[in-house]
Amino acid sequence: MRRKLIAGNWKMNGRMATNESLLAEIQAGLSQPACSIAVCVPAPYIVQCRGLLAGSPVDLGAQDVSAYEAGAYTGEVAAGMLAELGCKYVIIGHSERRAYHGETDASVAQKTVRVLQTGLTPIVCVGETLAEREGGLTNTIVGQQVDAVLEALGAGDLEKLVIAYEPVWAIGTGKTATPQMAQDVHAMIRGKLASKDAAAAAKVQILYGGSMKPDNAKELLAMSDIDGGLIGGAALKAVDFLAIISAA
């Protein structure tokens, strides 16, 4: 049985004072969580949050990473830097980065390999737009996104991946995929992973993301291939984030 992972994606939100109160409330509300928990915070706050999370079951993550190890890449953050700062996870290829920052399946694959080489866990985001879903292209698009990463992986890497299926039309919109819609895509993704290595595929956590909230988390998380959630808006309210953790 796969352990579930509830990961918050704070996006470009937070300030020193609100980070402190949010993490204090989350930690105060946790009692022996049955799932793994992470918060993926803006890069400038990683050090602050590492201090606030010392000794806590909540792991730390980043929201993006450079595909390169070091060098003349102004503004970029290397995986080695994130590792040194105590990150365990890195979100890669979030749809906002694909849409606004020109990330492609190829760059997502390159970043995934870099993160794995550094010993961090990539949370690779995949998902279709509304037009793609309505055009019956969900499996094609998500399949291509997954294949690009699979083709780049080295031996033994597959089981170290976390994948987040995030239908773009459900992110921050209040629209959620039904549990069955999400399960169907998760099962398709796991099938793709299994065609590479069935034993490793059975270990990979596939998260759902897209308006997961306390009132829909339980049904989504009950599906057999949904191994957790990548949570945006609801991760910024301790009471909501805690309720989703309890549902897992």
Indicate the SS3 state at residue 216.
Answer: helix
Known active-site residue 94: yes
Q: How far is the CB of 208 from ligand PEP (least distance, A)?
A: 8
Q: How far is the CB of 182 from ligand PEP (least distance, A)?
A: 12
In sequence order, which ranges of the chain are alpha helices (DSSP H)? 16-29, 46-52, 79-84, 95-100, 105-117, 130-134, 138-152, 179-196, 198-201, 214-221, 238-247
Spacing of C-alpha 59 from chain mean position? 13
123: closest CA among 137, 108, 133, 136? 108
Residues 205, 202: Cα–Cα separation, whole Å: 8
Q: How far is the CB of 193 from ligand PEP (least distance, A)?
A: 21
Are the beta carbons of 176 and 197 closer than 8 angstroms?
no
Annotated catalytic residue within 96, 128, 166, 186: 166
CB-CB neighbours of 3 under 10 Å: 11
Looking at this protein, which amino acid is placed at residue 132? E
Spacing of C-alpha 139 from chain mean position? 19
Q: Which residues bind ligand PEP (CB under 6 A)?
A: 9, 166, 171-172, 209-212, 230-234
φ/ψ of 207, rounded to 5, equals -90, 155
Are the beta carbons of 211 and 171 closer than 8 angstroms?
yes
Q: What end-to-end distance do the CA atoms of the chain give, in Å?
A: 13
Lookup: tokens for 79: 């995986």
Known active-site residue 166: yes
Q: Annotated catalytic sites, by residue?
A: 94, 166
